[in-house]
Structure 1
């Protein structure tokens, strides 16, 4: 815990009390949650950022898009628009937010992508469309308790389990650890690719899941090729380049590239960073820029970066994927 977080530690009990009371009011039914008669899956976490929600949403899209009309609904963090917005050919990162635009950019034509801070209104708007979705995926809505999703998937990273964390502002937890009790499935993300049974047992003991909860382990798989708007290039063929990250936790990507023996400079920005004119001026002199996909969708509009800007696709891989997939398919089929 750094010095600033130690200084603000006395605020933690206040934040804990406020969020605990709010959750208790929902638990007792004194504040109402809206449920729906069609499948709604919520993907979220207890901490702020960096647990892999975007790759998980994309995993679910791939799992269901062939058999169902799928829609994603996000808050649209950092967007410059208000209210409900359905993505179309005029959408960009500024109108939708980073992650929703990434969903649209990658899966347009196969799914519907919408943003609305009011998730109930967003769901109602989506269901009022001529081609209403049969399945809605809620992105980062675990604390949005006005909606009672049919299935809650909670993510926590292997190297920073929520069980080890503190409440804001001294830690990263948005609510008390007991909030994990609302989860139906807990996915431990960003695990080492070779995880021993002993290590898994240790994690399970720390999480101590309830009888109705299932825990899965997952890891990030990076692509062999980096992509630009016009071509692809083998990662191993990349010479000295500049890595640009504007995400909560770039460590796994940095370690992956280092382990490949690649030489690069790393420009690290805060999560959801809005690239300024000065940032672009600095980047345009670089020969090759490798960005995360989230940063790529914001940077690709700058013509001065065209031809030198690449991103490295990633996917989440889940251990016991068949069990995980069947569990989710059974939930959706139950409606």
Structure 2
């Protein structure tokens, strides 16, 4: 903890007290939570940003969408619209937010909705002629008004919640005791070579409850970058002069995967809304070089830079082991909940 954050520790105590009281009121039923008559899976984290929620949601979409009618519901962070919005052919990142728009583009056969009021969002989805069989709540671990049937909590390998403090002294949105709501805990962004001994050391530090399952995943980068028009193997562009651009919480691994000695990088805040001035700066730095960005940034930059110049690097979440156990837990929950409706 740096010196500045040490000074903020009294505020962290106050913030922790407020969030603990809120959770207590929900746990005791004094504040009302709403349940729904379909399987609802909430994916989130205790900390702010950078745990890999988007690729985890995409993993669940791939797992479930061949069997069930899937809907995702997000807040739609930094979108310019208000209220409930269900993605259609005219939707874009400004209307939905970058991550929901990414879902909409990659998975056109699912329903993608945004609403800061998750209770209203689910109610609206269930009022559609084409009702979903299962709803995935994005970044909803602290959204206690909805009582999901299954909770997946993510924690990044390099920033485990057990080593962190509450905001603003640390990055936790609530006390570490909030982890008790999780059915599954996933340690994300692990080194692919993480050993079983190292995994067991982390398991010991996390002190899981008896009912909780623990999994370890890593970010798998595709072997090609893609544009609106074509794909190029990463090996082929290794020696090509390029600009690497990222507006995500923790871009180091993205840069490390692609960067050669001659490559320049540009970093922007997470969920950055690229202004015309930003675009001009990018163009000035890139000249005629290709620009490679993240999937999330690509949906906000598309149409603002030349399509033959702008590429993105697709990613997926991959399990170090026991993927079939994770899949079975999800499919069993959804299948049982759907069958009992």
TM-score by length of 1: 0.97
CA drift of 1:276 comes to 1.2
Counterpart-to-counterpart distance in 2, 1:4 and 1:99: 32
CA drift of 1:103 comes to 0.3
Q: Tell me what 2:22 maps to.
A: 22
SS at match of 1:334: helix
| Counterpart check, 1:33 vs 2:69 | no
Q: Tell me what 2:234 maps to.
A: 235
Taking the TM superposition and a 5 Å limit, the aligned residue runs for 1:69-108 are 69-108=69-108
Q: Tell me what 1:251 maps to.
A: 252
Q: Tell me what 1:64 maps to.
A: 64
Deviations 1:149-199 (A, max 9, x none): 000000000111000011001111000000000000000000000111110
SS at match of 1:310: strand
Deviations 1:16-57 (A, max 9, x none): 000000001111111111112210000000000000000000
Q: Tell me what 1:327 maps to.
A: 329
Counterpart-to-counterpart distance in 1, 2:28 and 2:256: 45
Q: Tell me what 1:177 maps to.
A: 176
CA drift of 1:263 comes to 3.9
Counterpart-to-counterpart distance in 2, 1:44 and 1:263: 37
Counterpart-to-counterpart distance in 2, 1:5 and 1:309: 39
Q: Tell me what 1:195 maps to.
A: 194
Question: How has the CA–CA distance of structure 1 residues 18 and 67 changed in structure 2, closer, same or farther, with 3 Å as cutoff?
Answer: same
Give the stretch that moved more between structures: 127-136 or 28-37.
28-37
CA contact (8 A) 1:283 1:305 kept: no
Deviations 1:259-313 (A, max 9, x none): xx564211111101111111111222411101000000000121x4321100000
Q: Tell me what 1:291 maps to.
A: 293
Taking the TM superposition and a 5 Å limit, the aligned residue runs for 1:155-170 are 155-170=154-169
SS at match of 2:324: helix
SS at match of 2:187: strand
List 4+ stretches of structure 1 deviating above 4 A.
Answer: none
Deviations 1:41-77 (A, max 9, x none): 0000000000000000000000011110000000000
Structure 1 unmatched runs, 5+:
none
CA contact (8 A) 1:242 1:290 kept: yes
CA contact (8 A) 1:100 1:114 kept: yes
SS at match of 1:316: strand
* C-alpha RMSD over aligned residues: 1.1
CA contact (8 A) 1:236 1:262 kept: no
Equivalent residue pairs, number: 331
| Counterpart check, 1:144 vs 2:146 | no
CA contact (8 A) 1:284 1:305 kept: no
Question: How has the CA–CA distance of structure 1 residues 263 and 234 changed in structure 2, closer, same or farther, with 3 Å as cutoff?
Answer: farther
Counterpart-to-counterpart distance in 2, 1:2 and 1:288: 38
Counterpart-to-counterpart distance in 2, 1:35 and 1:202: 36
